[in-house]
Structure 1
Amino acid sequence: MTTAPAADTAARTPAGHPPPGFGAALRSEWRKFRALPSNRAIIGAALALTVGITVVMTVFGDTAAMAREQNDGRYAVIFFGATLGVWAFSALAANVVAAEYRQGTIAMTFTATPRRWRPVTAKLVVIAAAAFVAGHVVSLVNFAITQAALGAAGESTVSLSDPGMLRAALVYIPLSMVVQSLLTACAAVVLRTAPGAFAFVVLLGALPVVGAQFLGRWWGETIPRHMAGAAAESVAGIAVPGTPGYLPTMAAGLVIVVWLAVFVAIALTVSARRDA
Structure 2
Amino acid sequence: MSTHQPPMPQAPAAAPDWQAAPGGPYPGYTSPIPVVRTHLGHALASEWTKIRSVRSTMWTLGVFVLLVVGIGLLTGALVEANSDSTSLSGENPLSFGFFGLLLGSICVITLGVLTTASEYGTGMIRTTMTACPSRGRVLAAKSIVFFAVAFAVTLVTSGFVAMVHASLLGDTGARTPSGGDWLKATVGVSLYMALLGLLSLLIGSVIRHSAGAITIMIGVVLAPLVLALFMVAESLDKVREWLFEYSIPNQLSVFYTNSLTESGPSGWDPLWIMLVLTAAVYAGAYALLQNRDV
TM-score (norm 2): 0.73
Q: 1:54 aligns with which of 46, 55, 72?
A: 72
Whether the 8 Å CA contact 1:131–1:178 is kept in 2: the answer is yes
CA deviation string 1:92-138 (max 9, x = no partner): 21222222122211111011111211111111111111111112111
- Is 1:138 the counterpart of 2:145? The answer is no
Question: What SS is found at the alignment partner of 2:169?
Answer: helix
Q: 1:217 aligns with which of 230, 237, 262?
A: 237
Matches within 5 A, 1:200-215: 200-212=216-228, 214=231
Whether the 8 Å CA contact 1:19–1:114 is kept in 2: the answer is no
- Structure 1 partner of 2:197: 181
Change (3 A) 1:246 1:62: closer
% same residue: 25
Alpha-carbon offset, residue 222 of structure 1: 3.9
- Structure 2 partner of 1:43: 61
- Runs of 5+ consecutive residues of structure 2 not aligned to the other structure: 1-34
Alpha-carbon offset, residue 169 of structure 1: 1.6
CA distance in 2, matches of 1:208, 1:171: 26
The answer to which of 182-191 and 162-171 deviates more is 162-171
Question: What SS is found at the alignment partner of 2:96?
Answer: coil
Change (3 A) 1:245 1:172: farther
User: In proportion to residue count, which structure has more helix?
Assistant: 1
CA distance in 2, matches of 1:158, 1:79: 17
Change (3 A) 1:115 1:90: same
Amino acid at match of 1:21: H
Q: 1:126 aligns with which of 141, 145, 163?
A: 145
CA distance in 2, matches of 1:88, 1:22: 28
Question: What SS is found at the alignment partner of 2:275?
Answer: helix
Amino acid at match of 2:200: T
Paired positions, count: 257
Change (3 A) 1:223 1:42: closer
Change (3 A) 1:115 1:69: farther
Question: What SS is found at the alignment partner of 1:78?
Answer: helix
- Structure 2 partner of 1:168: 184
| RMSD, matched Cα | 3.3
Alpha-carbon offset, residue 24 of structure 1: 1.4
Change (3 A) 1:97 1:159: farther
- Is 1:113 the counterpart of 2:122? The answer is no
Larger radius of gyration: 2
Q: 2:275 aligns with which of 224, 245, 257?
A: 257
Whether the 8 Å CA contact 2:150–2:197 is kept in 1: the answer is yes
Change (3 A) 1:52 1:230: closer
Amino acid at match of 2:113: A
Q: Stretches of 4+ moved more than 6 A in 1? A: 66-69
Q: 1:93 aligns with which of 92, 112, 124?
A: 112
Alpha-carbon offset, residue 192 of structure 1: 2.1
Amino acid at match of 1:258: V
Whether the 8 Å CA contact 2:89–2:175 is kept in 1: the answer is no
Alpha-carbon offset, residue 39 of structure 1: 0.8
CA distance in 2, matches of 1:86, 1:69: 29
Matches within 5 A, 1:186-201: 186-201=202-217
CA distance in 2, matches of 1:54, 1:232: 15
